[in-house]
């Protein structure tokens, strides 16, 4: 079974690309909107840190299940049909959580809403990356970093709106409920510009594969050594990104004895450096190739983190954080792009790669927290340096397969 798309004109291609940009942007807005109201959630429900942890676990576990099941959905129904279900699921999940947080003050309803939100969010993440990879192939140039830059911009916008809503005294239910409605209206409209998959059998007389055969095809990617090598790239850089999001401010306060406000500035510098590189990274990849870009950025990330750990003063530490953020910026999106090189296995490969990345994002923070409790936060960050080095050494696995012009360089 070969999956192709009907021939599209330039206007249709641009609309398709814009719709995927919209999905990435709105995913960032929605995710950050929820995260920005976490203090209000805790206060309104009258829960302690352990119960907050259960909320986060429900969402994280749902996300992981969604990521792991998305490839089967795409193989059977296609990404567009799958997205038509999951974008509605995200709206319902966020709306239920919004009702539970404030209007009904129901902890169980909030848990159920977040589990549903995570499940559909994880599946949507995979399917929109599959679509983004197909857009790349259609345009024959690297676009995945730019798609992920839109997600980053969405998180900044969502967090900013969350700060404003909190300052103006807008209740979490009204805020999050409105985000759920806006999400559904805009993404449903964007979905109309995504072309449907055409499924063309290699042998026209061959019978359509049954459910067991489709499941086997979806799981076959886990036998491919390239999957694990790409996974190593993503794992190292997911830890490099996630460790900054979760532990950078603490490292600044506890490791370098600075104020919380200074820690927030450091996190901002990291985020800006990452977003800027994602916005401009595509042309760089098309010039020098996916492999050499990943190698160069792994050196930058590793060097930046070492400089931050050993920095004798704040200016040097800021330089280190900027290099760290820039270096960690493209590992995840280029890993996704590499996983989707073969259109016949794109859904399964992207799902596998995303699963590895999600495991790093979910398991990394508590593991690092436990280790830092034993040896201190700055010493713990040396583990991330090692993982970044592993990612750099595995970068050769991102070499485009035969027939793929995306990420080959010399455009």
Q: DSSP assignment of 188-223, as one string?
A: HHHHTTSPPPEEE-SSTTSPPP-HHHHHHHHHGGGG
Q: Which residue did the predictor score with more confidence, 205 or 242?
A: 242
| Strand pairing category for 198-200 and 2-4 | antiparallel
Contact 293/284 with Cβ under 8 angstroms? yes
Of 188-197, 315-324, 362-371, the one with minimum mean pLDDT is 362-371
What integer pLDDT is reported at residue 316 of this predicted model?
96
What integer pLDDT is reported at residue 93 of this predicted model?
97
Q: Residues near 391 by Cβ (< 8 Å), separated by ≥ 6?
A: 232, 233, 234, 235, 236, 237, 240, 294, 298, 331
CA distance 35 to 55: 11
CA distance 299 to 89: 40
Q: DSSP string of 290-336? A: HHHHHHHHHHHHHHHHHHHHH-SSHHHHHHHHHHHHHHTSSHHHHHH
Rounded mean pLDDT, 304-333: 95
Of 3-12, 112-121, 337-346, 350-359, the one with minimum mean pLDDT is 3-12
67, two tokens: 């990521």
CA distance 223 to 130: 20
Instruction: Count the Cβ atoms, other than its own, within 10 Å of residue 24.
Output: 23
Q: What is the percentage of the chain residues whose pLDDT exceeds 70?
A: 91
Of 22-36, 70-84, 355-369, the one with minimum mean pLDDT is 355-369
pLDDT at 207 over 60: no
By CB neighbour count within 10 A (0-12 exposed, 13-18 middle, 19+ buried), where does 378 fall? middle
CA distance 169 to 187: 28
The residue among 129, 125, 7 whose CA lies nearest residue 64 is: 125
What integer pLDDT is reported at residue 323 of this predicted model?
97
Contact 227/221 with Cβ under 8 angstroms? yes
CA distance 60 to 117: 10
CA distance 315 to 261: 16
Average pLDDT, the chain: 86
Q: What is the percentage of the chain residues whose pLDDT exceeds 90?
A: 43
Contact 68/352 with Cβ under 8 angstroms? no
At 17-76, the pLDDT tens digits run 999 999 999 999 998 898 888 888 888 899 887 888 888 888 888 988 998 888 788 878
pLDDT at 201 over 60: no
What integer pLDDT is reported at residue 53 of this predicted model?
80
What integer pLDDT is reported at residue 215 of this predicted model?
62
284, two tokens: 């760089």
Contact 377/253 with Cβ under 8 angstroms? no
Question: What pairs with residue 243 in β-bridges?
Answer: none
pLDDT at 200 over 60: no
pLDDT at 6 over 60: no
pLDDT at 287 over 60: yes
At 216-227, the pLDDT tens digits run 666 777 788 888
CA distance 57 to 39: 16
Of 8-12, 161-165, 360-364, the one with minimum mean pLDDT is 360-364
What integer pLDDT is reported at residue 217 of this predicted model?
60
The CA angle 200-206-207, to the nearest 5 degrees, is 95
The residue among 138, 126, 136, 148 whose CA lies nearest residue 275 is: 148
CA distance 298 to 232: 12
Rounded mean pLDDT, 11-18: 92
The residue among 361, 393, 388, 148 whose CA lies nearest residue 243 is: 361
Rounded mean pLDDT, 146-167: 89
Of 5-14, 46-55, 71-80, 224-233, the one with minimum mean pLDDT is 5-14
At 381-400, the pLDDT tens digits run 999 999 999 999 999 988 88
Rounded mean pLDDT, 246-260: 86
pLDDT at 264 over 60: yes
């Amino acid at each position: 079974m070969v999956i192709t798309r009907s021939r599209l004109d330039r206007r249709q291609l641009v609309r398709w690309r814009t719709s995927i940009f919209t999905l990435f942007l709105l995913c960032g807005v929605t995710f950050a909107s929820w995260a920005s109201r976490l203090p209000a959630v805790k206060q309104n429900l009258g829960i302690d840190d352990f119960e907050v942890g259960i909320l986060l676990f429900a969402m994280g576990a749902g996300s992981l299940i969604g990521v792991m099941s998305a490839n089967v959905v795409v193989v059977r129904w296609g990404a567009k049909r799958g997205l038509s279900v999951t974008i509605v699921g995200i709206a319902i999940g966020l709306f239920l959580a919004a009702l539970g947080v404030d209007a009904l003050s129901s902890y169980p309803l909030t848990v159920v809403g977040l589990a549903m939100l995570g499940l559909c969010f994880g599946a949507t993440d995979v399917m929109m990356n599959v679509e983004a990879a197909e857009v790349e192939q259609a345009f024959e140039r690297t676009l995945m970093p730019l798609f992920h830059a839109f997600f980053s911009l969405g998180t900044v916008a969502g967090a900013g709106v969350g700060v404003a809503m909190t300052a103006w005294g807008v209740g979490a239910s009204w805020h999050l409920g409105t985000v759920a409605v806006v999400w559904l209206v805009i993404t449903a409209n964007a979905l109309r510009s995504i072309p449907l998959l055409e499924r063309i059998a290699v042998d026209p007389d061959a019978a359509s594969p049954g459910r067991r055969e489709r499941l086997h095809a979806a799981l076959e990617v886990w036998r491919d050594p390239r999957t694990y090598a790409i996974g190593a790239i993503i794992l190292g850089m997911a830890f490099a990104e996630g460790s900054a999001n979760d532990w950078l401010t603490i490292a600044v306060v506890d490791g370098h004895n600075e104020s919380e406000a200074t820690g927030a500035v450091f996190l901002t510098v990291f985020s800006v450096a990452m977003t800027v590189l994602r916005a401009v990274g595509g042309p760089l990849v098309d010039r020098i190739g996916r492999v050499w870009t990943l190698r160069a950025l792994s050196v930058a990330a590793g060097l930046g983190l070492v400089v931050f750990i050993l920095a004798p003063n704040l200016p040097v530490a800021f330089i280190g954080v900027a290099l760290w953020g820039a270096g960690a910026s493209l590992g995840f999106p280029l890993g996704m792009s590499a996983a989707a090189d073969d259109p016949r296995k794109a859904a399964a490969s992207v799902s596998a790669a995303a699963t590895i990345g999600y495991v790093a994002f979910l398991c990394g923070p508590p593991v690092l927290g436990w280790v830092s409790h034993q040896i201190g936060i700055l010493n713990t960050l040396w583990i991330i340096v090692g993982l970044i080095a592993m990612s750099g050494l595995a970068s050769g696995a991102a070499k485009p397969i035969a027939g793929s012009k995306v990420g080959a360089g010399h455009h």
